[in-house]
A and B are shown apart, each in its own frame.
Chain A
Amino acid sequence: MMRHAVLRIIGLVPTLLLLVTAAFFVIRLAPGGPFDDERPALPEVRANLEAAYGLDAPLTTQYLRYVRGLLHGDLGPSFKHKDSSVSELIGAGLPISATLGAAALALALLLGIPLGVGAALRRGSLTDRAVALLAALAIALPTFVLGPLLALLFGVRLRWLPAAGWDAGTLRHAILPVVTLAIPVLAYVIRLTRTGLIEVLGLDYIRAARARGIGMRRLVVTHALRPALLPLVSWLGPATAFVLTGSLIVETVFSIPGAGRFLVEGALNRDYTLVMGMTLVYGTITLICNLLADLLYAWLDPRIRRH
């Protein structure tokens, strides 16, 4: 198990390198550059700027230089935010984005697992149908529709909560963004828990346990839940990417000063280092969460643990 984990962590390095390389060359091959939409600069000024940022060197040299910087933990200077390095910019936004994402994921799991279990135990009942219908609806409701709708209802019409802003993460400001981000995840958690549990409850060992007179509550808690949650656990990896993507939208909708906006803004402005930094940081987070989900899966599933 330990050996497996260490091997997997080492395996992350080539994947990240691939991501960095792909992002680096895709963004460089595109037309335009970071100094295009400034006031028409004199050719000499422009040449000096490009030299100062090392953009005059051949592309492969720039790539090697960038990777060497990464090995020293240096994401480079931002081309557009003149006084900040990429690390400073992302460092300022990331805690906000991370809080938002973690809160949404936690909310979805805390609500979704009990709802999924409840629906599975009352399979075919009215409650079950209602939960399934809500989940289907929530999956069809993309974040960029849900966010504005919630802001319109609770922020503009009812005036219960602020429609936008973050205000250093006070609870009142956090509720709408977190809920918006959590609802689609919640729908998936409910569906996965429900189908997982229904499948496990049909297995022979559960029926044998029931025949021995073990109560339903104890049966679910001690015997059925753990294997039933395996599909959910294996979805948690992709779920991270899902939440990170959703947070780009939520941060835009609710004007939250997270890190997400740097990606779109950076790509539009050809702020090469900023885009690269964002891709690298969010990529690393996704890969690590995928790894954690896999390890959790292996730990929960004795068939895999033994190997």
Chain B
Amino acid sequence: MPGSTRVSGGIELPQGRALRVAAALLLALCMLALFAPLLSPHAPEAIDWSRLAAAPGAADAHWWGTDRLGRDVFARTMQGLRISMLIGFVAALVSVAIGLLWGAIAGYAGGRTDAVMMRIVDVLYALPYVFLVIILATLFERGSIPVLLIAIASVGWLTTARIVRGQTLALRQREFVTAACAMGVPTARILWRHILPNVAGPVIAYATLTVPQMILYESFLSFLGLGVQEPLASLGSLVSDGARDMETAPWLLLAPAGCLVVLTLLLNILGDGLRDVLDPRTRA
């Protein structure tokens, strides 16, 4: 969720197993979302006039029921899952790339450049950044997925930048970097060949943790009606629609809400596990 800081010390299961179970389940969920159109005879936007707001398990393969307009809840939730995942992954990729570049430059340059760049990160951290994201998301064409991606990715890079900067700062002092420097290797090449591979571990782990955050940001905006627009749906917009009808048709809320919670929980477990494996500092 917005403004969150990662905290170490989650579930203390035997890490290897939790990691593998989470990864397997996540893969299964991805497969389900991708192949749902083959499983279900219904298209997400197809309207079944004979079954409006039908309860789950109803005949005609509406396994999760239908919504007020007679659209199949399973098909729509799976579509929402696909869109949420897509936005989450792409936004995480973009924000991690920005953070990587920002942190590596600040850490490697050091001195005044570093001070100014990290001061900017500090200021942005302290701001209710989500507010600017909301403003961004409302201002341009509503429901446009690229705008949504930019708005969301602009929040996620701060923590990556801090992690990368700290690591780079330490790496800069190491002999192999000094040696490369002394041999006249250009800075860009040092960053690429010597710094990047060494910060990759923690960055990959953090990137995995960024994905659920991005998914939650997107759902947050969609819940407020600022994100993905009809007839497309994301998990957030489905939760928002479902909450409106929860008194008469609770399955409209429960299906997307359940998917969202399972998805973010699995991604968090995976990220925590990867961090323990890839980032030796957090290993107890």
Chain A positions within 8 Å of B, measured between CB atoms, are 15, 18-19, 22-23, 26-27, 29-32, 124, 128-129, 132-133, 135-137, 139-145, 147-149, 151-152, 156, 163, 184, 188, 191-192, 194-195, 198, 235, 237-239, 241-242, 244-246, 248-249, 252-253, 263-264, 267-268, 275, 278-279, 282-283, 286-287, 290
- Chain B residues within 8 Å of A137, by CB: 261, 265
- Chain B residues within 8 Å of A244, by CB: 128
Asked if residues B1 and A26 are in contact (CB atoms below 8 Å), the reply is no
Which 7 residue pairs across A and B have the least CB separation, nearest first?
A30-B139, A148-B243, A242-B3, A267-B138, A140-B265, A195-B9, A241-B3
Nearest B residue to A269 via CB reads B138
By CB atoms of chain A within 10 A, which of B1, B5, B225, B264 has the most? B1
Contacts A148-B243, A156-B247 hold; do A140 and B139 have CB atoms under 8 A apart?
no
The contact string, 1 if C-beta is below 8 Å from chain A, for chain B 246-265, is 11001001000100110011
- Chain A residues within 8 Å of B250, by CB: 152, 156
Instruction: Report how far A132 CA is from B129 CA in the complex, Å.
Output: 29
- Chain A residues within 8 Å of B145, by CB: none
Instruction: Report how far A287 CA is from B131 CA in the complex, Å.
Output: 14
Instruction: Report how far A18 CA is from B268 CA in the complex, Å.
Output: 34
- Chain A residues within 8 Å of B260, by CB: 142, 145
Instruction: Report how far A286 CA is from B126 CA in the complex, Å.
Output: 7
Asked whether B79 is an interface residue with its Cβ less than 8 Å from the other chain, the reply is no
Residue from A23, A237, A252 in contact with B135 in the complex, judged by beta carbons closer than 8 Å? A23
Nearest B residue to A135 via CB reads B10
Asked if residues B224 and A286 are in contact (CB atoms below 8 Å), the reply is no
Asked if residues A124 and B239 are in contact (CB atoms below 8 Å), the reply is no
Nearest B residue to A140 via CB reads B265
Asked if residues B2 and A241 are in contact (CB atoms below 8 Å), the reply is yes
Nearest B residue to A18 via CB reads B123
Nearest A residue to B260 via CB reads A145
Instruction: Report how far A246 CA is from B130 CA in the complex, Å.
Output: 10
Given contacts A136-B265, A242-B3, 20 further A-B contacts (CB under 8 A): A15-B127, A26-B135, A26-B139, A132-B12, A139-B1, A139-B4, A144-B219, A144-B240, A148-B242, A152-B247, A163-B247, A237-B126, A239-B3, A245-B220, A249-B224, A279-B128, A279-B132, A286-B126, A286-B127, A287-B127
Asked whether B134 is an interface residue with its Cβ less than 8 Å from the other chain, the reply is yes
Q: Nearest Cβ in chain B — how far from A152, in angstroms?
A: 5
Asked if residues B2 and A195 are in contact (CB atoms below 8 Å), the reply is no
Asked if residues A263 and B134 are in contact (CB atoms below 8 Å), the reply is yes
Asked whether B117 is an interface residue with its Cβ less than 8 Å from the other chain, the reply is no
Residue from B136, B257, B264, B265 in contact with A148 in the complex, judged by beta carbons closer than 8 Å? B257
Instruction: Report how far A122 CA is from B59 CA in the complex, Å.
Output: 51
Asked whether B236 is an interface residue with its Cβ less than 8 Å from the other chain, the reply is yes
Asked if residues B4 and A238 are in contact (CB atoms below 8 Å), the reply is yes
- Chain B residues within 8 Å of A30, by CB: 139-140
- Chain A residues within 8 Å of B242, by CB: 148
Asked whether B173 is an interface residue with its Cβ less than 8 Å from the other chain, the reply is no
Contacts A152-B253, A237-B126 hold; do A144 and B236 have CB atoms under 8 A apart?
yes
Asked if residues A152 and B246 are in contact (CB atoms below 8 Å), the reply is yes
Contacts A142-B1, A245-B1, A275-B135 hold; do A282 and B224 have CB atoms under 8 A apart?
no
Asked whether B216 is an interface residue with its Cβ less than 8 Å from the other chain, the reply is yes
Contacts A26-B136, A139-B268, A241-B2 hold; do A283 and B219 have CB atoms under 8 A apart?
no
Q: Nearest Cβ in chain B — how far from A195, in angstroms?
A: 4
Contacts A30-B139, A133-B11, A242-B4 hold; do A23 and B253 have CB atoms under 8 A apart?
no
CB-CB contacts below 8 Å: B228-284 with A: 236, 239-240, 242-243, 246-247, 250, 253, 257, 260-261, 264-265, 268-269
Asked if residues A286 and B246 are in contact (CB atoms below 8 Å), the reply is no
Asked if residues A264 and B134 are in contact (CB atoms below 8 Å), the reply is yes
Nearest A residue to B246 via CB reads A152
